[in-house]
Amino acid sequence: MIIHVLLLSGFLLASIALVQAVSLRFALSESVLLAAWGFALGGIYLVSGEAWPQLAESVFTPALAPRLPPEAYLWIFLPLLLFQASLSVNVREMLGDAAPILLLAVVAVFVATAMVGGAIRLTGLGPLTDGLLLGAMIATTDPSAVLAVFRQVGAPERLVRLVEGESLLNDAAAIAIATVLIAAITGDTAAATGGAALRTLAVELLGGLAVGALAGRAVAYLLPALGGEGKAEISLSFALPYPLYLFADQTLHVSGVVAVVAAGLVISGLGRTRLSPANWQHLQLIWEQVAAMAGAAIFLLAAMQIPATLRDARWVDLAALAVVVVTALVARLVVTFGMLPLLSRLKLTEPVSAAYKLVIAWGGLRGAVTLVLALGLAHNEVLPETTRRFVAILATGFVLVSLIVNGSSLKLLIKRLKLDLLSPQEEALQQQAVQLSSIGVSEQVHEAARTFRIPASIADEACNTFRRSIDLSATAFDIESALSERERLAIGLATLATKERDLIPQYGSGIITIRNLDAMMRNTDAMIEAARESGRIGYQRAAAKILADTPGLRAARLLARWLHIHQPYADALADRFELLMCRRVVLHELLEFADTSLTPLLGERLATLLGTILKTRIEKAERGLDDVRQCFGGHGADVLERRMMLLYALREGRARVMAMYEDRSISKEIYDSIRRELDTAWKRAVPRAHPDLLLAGGAAEDAAARGAASGADASTGTDADAQAHGPAAPMPDGRDTAASRAATNTTDAAESAANDTQRDAAP
């Protein structure tokens, strides 16, 4: 058995590599090629089994017919595919389209099931229950093929998000419906009623959602405790999908599919602030590679079973297949054109264009999941033989038609609908970007020509060829006349907010608390949406919300003032101080980004306006910092600044030592020794000072009173942006408090440990 699995694994990986290479070389759909190759292998197995049974048993059987139950394919591959798909999703962007995604993922499954079952019954091709079961099997969409086409033609981001979101959840709805229908066919009347169907679906979806969300939260909580070790973080992420899927499905009897998806979405939303940017990118890359191999393997394995499944097909099955194909397409058209508009009329989502609807309807390709569900059903001995044969043959044929007809024509449909074209605003930005790229490329090419002593005429020819290859217009281009100032401002603000979101995670790893990082990430997402919808006013309003007094801060202030319980208030002020410090330094980085990157792209006048907006935010952040310092009485701010600067110094020192090791400037032994000492100093520096030190000198009551009087004014309308690079505020001459002495001793001890280590390690 183990030998068969190992042989199968090697054969599958080699086949996948071959198919992917052919797909890239000839620009063909990878899913179609996998289906064709799997079909060919399955046919070879059938022919060899009949002509040369002994050869087939010893050579082909281990690779083409492993002794695994059909449901094992789902257990092995489905958790990986679902977890990676949900892990790569931007949860906050998807929430804006939650209503249409749920409609496509849940309601559309019911509609397809009912319409296919009704069509089979009305045409006399089979009983109603068999038709309904078939409808549930083919209602699950496989986005891999359609998303590959979207990437090739540059489909709009929202269209990709709708199709991707649908595929994450419709498997659970289809499996829940199939469970009820199987109970009806096998005579379990208690579980086969309409009420039972709704209860089963509710328990499957809500139970799986709750279990997955809790599991995702638990893993997100554990990730920071791994100390930034990338290999440990990846290992923990791989430890989650399989146990969660089996525990939810086999023990709790809720949807393992939804549980894995929910866990992946939670980790996707929280992981960027709990992992370093490099580790988060590495984790995503590893999961993408694993999921790509798993998806191709399950597709190939399922396709290899197609010849055996279709061997018993009859001509009447061809007529039934035509009915099913037409009915399934009509069902998707009913949902997209009949139900989606209702959501926009009810103000539940932004309108979906007719072109989007048509692509969603035509692009709902079926694939590996449908094949595996059909194979599992074909081997379910509880069901009648006629039902198993009917559903397996038609579901398999439907997948082939979907891939061959819909998959091959989807690219042409997108181009005919002009969904691959950029908007006028995007075209103007593209033109500007191409011009800037051409200038930079020309400078680099001529510099390289001088280095290699190549004539300038040849460099000019290469630059001209480059311009033609990217269709650079020969006419003069002025972006200020191509786009209105309002349009350019909205683009610039959304770009700044997106860049701000990318900069925030670099201040994690203990320098800024996770709750502050999460708050800032949520705020930047709100700024992005507000800038796109309302421009400058929306951007500024969203940016100001983060400094509004939280209920926790107000409650902590009351506790400190009336009950003399200072720790909650000190913690709340420390959080506020860190948040402001981080946001201020991010804003200064954004100023440089706007000057170097946005000025040539959007124009001098608009870049100046963006700089003014950023400087206004910096001024408000600085006023907020002054208010927090007053609440601390001056001492707590000094302690926190010293701690922040020490953590930043230790992190930079660790990065520089690692760079020296990677450059082979120091040996592995020296690197390990320095890293151990730096890690020890880091652990000593991470804990915050005691609240009595932060609010030292008996100033707690005064700080609470000042906060009650001025805290709300300091936060209202103020954006939280801060500077963690700047030096700590100098201590006034003659001030020698317990807070300053404790902070100084802590800082000196950690710095001394780091300096001693570096001195000992010096060659």
For residue 757, what pLDDT is reported?
39
For residue 739, what pLDDT is reported?
34
Of the pLDDT bands very low, low, confident and very high (cuts 50, 70, 90), residue 496 is very high
Residue 79 CB-half CA count within 13 A: 23
Could you give the CA distance from residue 763 to residue 761 in angstroms, rounded to a whole number? 6
**Cα dihedral: 267, 171, 358, 291 (round 10):** 50
pLDDT tens, residue by residue, 124-154: 998 998 999 999 989 888 766 677 677 666 6
Task: Give the mean pLDDT of 639-660.
Answer: 86
Could you give the CA distance from residue 174 to residue 369 in angstroms, rounded to a whole number? 11
Assign a CATH topology to domain 76-416. Na+/H+ antiporter like fold (1.20.1530)
Report the chain's terminal Cα–Cα distance, integer Å: 56
For residue 113, what pLDDT is reported?
93
For residue 740, what pLDDT is reported?
37
The per-residue pLDDT of the chain, averaged, comes to: 80
Of the pLDDT bands very low, low, confident and very high (cuts 50, 70, 90), residue 24 is confident
Task: Give the mean pLDDT of 199-211.
Answer: 85
Could you give the CA distance from residue 114 to residue 101 in angstroms, rounded to a whole number? 20
Closest residue by Cα to residue 204 from 162, 181, 171: 171
For residue 719, what pLDDT is reported?
37
Of the pLDDT bands very low, low, confident and very high (cuts 50, 70, 90), residue 62 is low
Burial of 112 (C-beta count, 10 Å sphere; 0-12/13-18/19+): buried
Does residue 48 or residue 603 have the better pLDDT?
A: 603
For residue 177, what pLDDT is reported?
81
CB atoms within 10 A of CB 730: 7
Q: Is the pLDDT of residue 429 over 80?
A: no
This prediction's pTM: 0.78
Q: Where are the domains of the chain?
A: 1-67, 76-416, 424-482, 643-694+736-763
Task: Enter the tokens of residue 290.
Answer: 């694993």
Does residue 115 or residue 180 have the better pLDDT?
A: 115
Task: Enter the tokens of residue 373.
Answer: 């569900």
The angle formed by the CA atoms of residues 9, 13 and 14, to the nearest 5 degrees, is 115
Task: Give the mean pLDDT of 314-342.
Answer: 92
Task: Give the mean pLDDT of 540-559.
Answer: 87
Q: Is the pLDDT of residue 749 over 70?
A: no
Of the pLDDT bands very low, low, confident and very high (cuts 50, 70, 90), residue 713 is very low
| Beta bridge mates, 584 | 722
598 within 8 A of 535, measured Cβ to Cβ: no
Could you give the CA distance from residue 428 to residue 422 in angstroms, rounded to a whole number? 9
What is the per-residue DSSP string for 407-454? HHHHHHHHHHTTTTSPPHHHHHHHHHHHHHHHHHHHHHHHHHHHHTT-
Name the percent of the chain lying above pLDDT 90: 21
